[in-house]
Amino acid sequence: MTKPAYLFRSKTGLFYFRRKVPADLLTVYGGRKQIKRSLQTHDPQEAYELVRIEAVRSDQEFTEHRKIIKRDNSRRPSESSTPMSVPEMKRRALLMKQHMLEVDDELRVSGGFIEDEDHEGYLLRSQEQLDDIKQAYARGDVDAVKSHIREWTKNESDIPYEVSLEYMKALIEATEIQLARKQGEIILTPEVPPSEDEIQVEVPDQTPDKIKGNTLRSVFKKYVEERQPKGNTARDYLAHIHRFTQVLGVDDIALDDVTPTHIRTFKDVLVQLPARVPSEMKGMTVLEMVKAMKGRDDIAPLSAKTINDKALSALRAVYGYAVRNGYCDHNPAQGIKVEVSLRKQKAGSDRLPYSVEDMNKIFRFPVYTENDRPIGGKGEAAYWLPLLAAFTGARLEELGQITKDNVRKERGVHYIDLRELDEAKTENSKRRIPIHPELIKLGFLTYVKSIKSGRIFPDLQRGKDGKLTSSFSKWWGRYARQHGGWGKEKVFHSFRHAAKDGFREGDVAEDLRDELMGHAPRTVGESYGSGSSIKRLSEGMSRLTYPGLDLSHLTKW
């Protein structure tokens, strides 16, 4: 029997599939000149059959890789007499990084794995390659990326040094991720924002006499009338819809004319917008802001969480309502979101809780030790709001709205009634919060009695967003960073996270903790009934504890 091609037998008698990597695919395989895979057999007859299967499989693998290369080549710029802008050159560096990681993704999906006996050597070579690139970057030697720059910009000369450094950084980051993946880390390939030309999308004629059926804005109006969303939700949703139609270049659009492509384009634009609009960008359209953000590394962009949970969620909610009520047949926003790597999720963009050590520092700020009342702290709000947040777990805006009439007593239990606030985040936010013994000890009830009527923090004024505590929240961020030395990962909301830990420390049951903090029930069964008795709530609240927290220096009000 003729020995099949690509069959190789080791000294131990184990059969392997071994095939040379085509020259045009060498970069896809990280420079490896051959594919080597164990057939996991010592039997020649079985090996003959398996090697033919592997040969067909490798043919398919090569074909798929060539398709990817062809697709990625379409992203590369063609020869043009128009010089490419520096921001676009830098964006192309990100495309190069994305391409390297997508090829790595495809290789893994298609089964182009590394045998155990080759793995250690591969990691060593990859690390050496990475070290070489980093050393070149440290020296400012950009020769290593000149070929990449030519390939992705079609520019033979006049490459600014800053652009070359961006390609060096992209090459280093891509190589680091590839190496981390080979060591078992799960890291998603990042998305690259589209260029200005790619933002343009085709939309059917949306002039009033051409629109057929229900429109996005008209159904949104029905959604608001029927659902009556709480607080600023309706206003925020309308702002996101306005941004969406701006991106499409229309005032309104028929529901059936919106496609997933339009939603994806909207998402791609949002990732380029600033988290907070600086004064020089106010009044700009969305696309004008995208252009103004080019090269502005000093301005933080919108986070994936904000885009997913607010902007895209708004479109999903309105379309979900439209589908349920028969205004359209599909929800084009379903499933579309900004992907975040598991590593980033673990690192966390969410706020961190205040630790007991942090709170020992906080409750020794000048507000508590020197009777300091900064203007931004809004009088006694500066003193009581942090204490209330720590010993209730309530949201800042909930606490800011409390009136004298909201502080009540039932069956010997003093509590704060949040069921009648002007704005409640959800139905679960409408709740009773027993006043913690520590707050009573510090004189909170005495303070409330000193208020004649109305809100107990009368100096709080509504901001442009309609919230009472917007300016206080900003002041607290500055004040706490000044005296506590924390970064922006710890904000007023960190008290709420701390309270959750405090309830766990006191071994408070999950359902009771959720009820006290205004979270949605975790099970269907928990959603029935009118909630816990005031006595049970009081028992749970009294067990909220922070071992090591010392407030003995605070004088009773």
CATH assignment at residue 440: 1.10.443.10
More confident residue, 79 or 519: 519
Q: Which of 196-200, 303-307, 488-492 has the lowest mean pLDDT?
A: 196-200
Q: Is the pLDDT of residue 360 over 90?
A: yes
The predicted-structure confidence for 148-157, as pLDDT tens digits, reads as follows 777 777 665 6
Do 116 and 141 belong to one domain? yes
Token output for 91: 């964006």
Q: Is the pLDDT of residue 526 over 50?
A: no
How far from chain centre, in Å, is Cα 414? Answer: 39
Do 297 and 241 belong to one domain? yes
Do 41 and 131 belong to one domain? no
Distance CA 471, CA 103 (A): 48
Q: Is-contact 381 460, C-beta < 8 A?
A: yes
Percentage of the chain exceeding pLDDT 70: 80
> At which of 183, 207, 231 does a domain end?
183
- Flag whether 200 is in a domain: no
Q: Is the pLDDT of residue 118 over 60?
A: no
Do 141 and 240 belong to one domain? no
- Flag whether 553 is in a domain: no
- Flag whether 452 is in a domain: yes
- Flag whether 274 is in a domain: yes
What confidence category does residue 201 fall into, taking pLDDT thresholds of 50, 70 and 90?
Answer: low
Do 397 and 526 belong to one domain? yes
Tell the residue number behind the tokens 């706490």, with chain if given: 480
Do 475 and 532 belong to one domain? yes
Do 44 and 91 belong to one domain? no
- Flag whether 119 is in a domain: yes
Domain that holds residue 67: 7-71
Do 393 and 491 belong to one domain? yes
- Flag whether 189 is in a domain: no
> Can you tell me the mean pLDDT for 315-328?
91
Q: Is the pLDDT of residue 168 over 50?
A: yes
- Flag whether 450 is in a domain: yes
Q: Is the pLDDT of residue 273 over 50?
A: yes
Q: Which of 309, 307, 279, 281 is nearest to 294 (CA)?
A: 281
The predicted-structure confidence for 386-395, as pLDDT tens digits, reads as follows 999 999 999 9
CATH assignment at residue 235: 1.10.150
> Can you tell me the mean pLDDT for 110-130?
59
Distance CA 210, CA 204 (A): 9
3-state secondary structure of 122: helix
> At which of 43, 71, 99 does a domain end?
71
Do 469 and 367 belong to one domain? yes
Do 315 and 227 belong to one domain? yes
The predicted-structure confidence for 444-483, as pLDDT tens digits, reads as follows 999 999 999 999 999 999 887 788 898 999 999 999 989 9
The DSSP 8-state label assigned to residue 556 in this structure reads: P
Tally the domains of the chain.
4
Do 536 and 459 belong to one domain? yes
